[in-house]
Amino acid sequence: MPVSPFEDRYKTEMNAIFDEENKLKLWLKVEVALAHAHAKLGHISKSSAASIEEGAKHVKLARVHDIEAEIHHDLMAMVRALTEKCKGQGHSVHLGATSYDIEDTAAALQLGEALSLIRTRIVSLRKVLRSLALDKANTVCVGRTHGQHAVPTTYGMKFALYYAELGRHLERLDAAKKRISVGKMSGATGTMATFGKDGFALQDEVMRSLGIEADTITNQVVQRDRHAECLFALALVASTLDKMAKEVRNLQRTEIAEISEPFSSKQVGSSTMPQKRNPHKSERICSLARIVRGNVSVALENISLEHERDLTNSANERVVFPDSFIACDYMLKEMHKIMAGLQFFPMQIERNLNLTRGLVLSERVMIALCEKGMGRQEAHELMRTAAMEAFRDRKSLSEVLLLHKEVAHLLKPIELQQLFDPHTYIGLAPEIVKRAVETE
């Protein structure tokens, strides 16, 4: 029975990339590539390489586990299981290689595949965000800074912002994939001593056949700055999803209630309060983002291995790689569902826009007074005191301003009335949205 929620509750297609069967498959793929490289360079016969390739098709994970239970070395257990299937050609298996020649090279293939899946998810989510941004480009709502009503903005601006940010993450993921897609075939301390004068040629041939690059220099392992970059790129993606989910949660608050994540007809919000519409999907994303970010610190610690290497990275990488990728993949899938089914409540959006009785347009009136000849600082102080008065006496800001002689002298009542229409104070928001989602 599963212990980790990443094995069932949060399971995605990413699990298949990190399961033991796929890891074994990738290890065997590297072993086969090594055998063929040896054969091409004349180190072993082509028939030996062919035997290893055929034997790799018949290695079973259960047998590898049985051998590992006896010898306590998972990679060597694979080597022995493969040797058993090679019909007298086992002497050519794993020739000259050290464990991490196989493991790190296989990890490059695995992490590259995982990054590709994350990339596909982001592209899909961005399509939904682009549609929302364009559809809501003119949906005016109150902007909030420091948790307080600021000036009007539009919902299109929110979605276009996320769209652009995720676009930058695609660039980071591509860069991380390029740097992680390297392998090694350089032996115990990276000197290629076991491969002799053919070391470079053999390493290049193995990597060519696997479709990745050979690392420039390694010791016993590919250096962990590459792996840390991958997890950091995931943490940035997770943090953007966290931000998006937090915005949904805040805007779904009872007192605000402008939008809501999807809520099905039979969904239960609380075990005791039947009325609840808890944003639990968004809350789950925020929760999992903490795990993804936390795993970055582990990856950073793994960079400073001792001398030519120690084993302090090995155990934790069995956790942080799959957990980070599965969590991030799950979060992206969930956010796609949330954004695709997002509910809007126009009456509440409009109510909140006018909640402060015009205070959110004090900046606009200040600018209008400046355009009529009043000094900027004088106009700011006039609007500040008027806003404080309106707030204190629970009056509309326009009502207070009509009693100010300085304002009446510069602005006609009809002009003042027009200034207090929030729908006409969104600047270039629609154009900004269009540029953000179409300029790529």
Tell me which residues are annotated as active site: 146, 270
SS (H, E, C) 152-215: EEEHHHHHHHHHHHHHHHHHHHHHHHHHHCEECCCCCCCCCHHHHHHHHHHHHHHHHHHCCEEC
Residue 142's DSSP bridge partners are 152
Instruction: Look at the chain and count its residues.
Output: 440
Whole-angstrom distance, CA of residue 134 vs CA of residue 155: 9
CB 253 within 8 A of CB 282: no
Angle at 261 between CA 156 and CA 288, to 5 degrees: 100
Interhelix angle 225-251/314-340, rounded to 10 degrees, is 30
Alpha-helical segments (H) within 89-154: 99-135
143 membership: H or E segment, kind and range: strand 140-145
Whole-angstrom distance, CA of residue 74 vs CA of residue 79: 9
14 membership: H or E segment, kind and range: helix 14-18
Residue recorded with tokens 């994970």:
61
Whole-angstrom distance, CA of residue 212 vs CA of residue 203: 11
Whole-angstrom distance, CA of residue 334 vs CA of residue 190: 43
Q: Is 412 helix (H, G, I), strand (E, B) or coil?
A: coil
Neighbour-count burial of 88, counting CB atoms closer than 10 A to its CB (0-12 exposed, 13-18 middle, 19+ buried): exposed
Whole-angstrom distance, CA of residue 264 vs CA of residue 258: 18
CB 376 within 8 A of CB 351: no
Whole-angstrom distance, CA of residue 203 vs CA of residue 409: 83
Residue 144's DSSP bridge partners are 149
Q: CA end-to-end span of the chain, whole Å? A: 47
